[in-house]
Amino acid sequence: MIRAGIIGGAGYTAGELIRLLVNHPEVELKWVHSTSNAGNPLTAVHGGLEGECDLVFASEYDLQVVDVVFLCSAHGQSSVWLSENSLPEGVKVIDLAQDFRDEHDGFIYGLAEWQREKVASANRIANPGCFATAIQLALLPLAAAQKLEDEVHITAITGSTGAGVKPSATTHFSWRASNLSVYKSFTHQHLNEIGRNLHLLQPAFDKEINFVPMRGDFTRGIFASVYTTCSLSEEEAVALYRDYYATAEFTHYTDRAIDLKQVVNTNKALVHVAKYGSKLHITTAIDNLLKGASGQAVENMNRIFGLDPTTGLKLKASAF
């Protein structure tokens, strides 16, 4: 059994991670650390675990009794935690924050659709951002084939869980319900990892990546609409995407137009392309808490420990 611990256990991503790990056939969850909730049952914060888990939040933790640590604290806290803790030899780290997505300090960027072999041999994984996952899955085949030729234009909409568990003026129910809004236009933090990785795949690409994120009036999921001028015919583009994702366990190319409900509550990503004149239009859909966060973290754990990547992640979409 893989022995796991979680640092920062009170948020949405941690709640999803706990749900996956307590039902994972090859994992024993040893402890979940939370400073603010120490001593409380996990079910007091994550009510969906009622009847499945009797753990309480720990105020202290023993790194000697785990094989992998998941870091689920706020951005900026993972690097602090690593500087303050000495990891026993062999203990793996999977960081769900953005601290190490530039792959410094021995971290590997954990997008298996891009670098599967590196993920499988890694000791430290930087889990990709949610928007970054959806957008890169739309662009990886083009970059790998050196076919990014012009500016890229992206509009992507995310559910309210992407903003975290603490309510704010733009996340509480009465504001978010029956509403749409734009935020961080052209400046979203995930552009850093997207631009870096696409340049690594296609070094000559020097055009703008234009990204307009949107807040949706639903709880979970990301739907990304991406277009760019491309010399490939529709038939060539379809073949490129189909071949690129042919061996991917979770990302699937489909000839049919996609819907968000096809992926919610799964670690699955769906990709579709169509050509309109000179423009190639790519759509992708993921669950922001699963393929965009905790599900992808478990997928990466499975790969590191030599398990079938789908272990514990065969989840049905909440389509109705």
Query: From CA 181, how far away is CA 186, in angstroms rounded?
Result: 14
**64 DSSP 8-state letter:** G
pLDDT of 174: 80
Total domain count for the chain? Answer: 2
pLDDT of 313: 98
228: phi then psi, degrees, rounded to nearest 5: -160, 150
| Within-domain flag for 197 | yes
Please list the alpha-helical segments (H only) found in the chain: 12-22, 42-45, 77-84, 112-120, 130-144, 173-176, 190-201, 234-244, 294-304
- Asked whether 19 and 300 are in contact (CB, 8 A), the reply is no
pLDDT of 70: 98
Examine the domain organization and report whether 95 and 228 are in the same domain: no
Q: Which domain holds residue 263?
A: 130-286
| Within-domain flag for 250 | yes
Active-site position among 53, 72, 130, 230: 130
Q: Whole-prediction pTM value?
A: 0.96
C-alpha distances in angstroms, 217 versus 142, 198, 264, 287? 31, 30, 15, 15
Determine whether 270 is exposed, middle or buried from the number of CB atoms within 10 Å of its CB (0-12, 13-18, 19+): buried
Q: Is 130 a catalytic residue?
A: yes
pLDDT in tens for each of the 320 residues of the chain?
A: 999 999 999 989 999 999 999 999 999 999 999 988 999 999 999 999 999 999 999 999 999 999 999 999 999 999 999 999 999 999 999 999 999 999 999 999 999 999 999 999 999 999 999 999 999 999 999 999 999 999 999 999 999 888 777 777 777 778 888 999 999 999 999 999 999 999 999 999 999 999 999 999 999 999 999 999 999 999 999 999 999 999 999 999 999 999 999 999 999 999 999 999 999 999 999 999 999 999 999 999 999 999 999 999 999 998 88
Examine the domain organization and report whether 49 and 186 are in the same domain: no
| Within-domain flag for 67 | yes
Query: From CA 152, how far away is CA 119, in angstroms rounded?
Result: 27
Examine the domain organization and report whether 297 and 212 are in the same domain: no
pLDDT of 97: 96
| Within-domain flag for 8 | yes
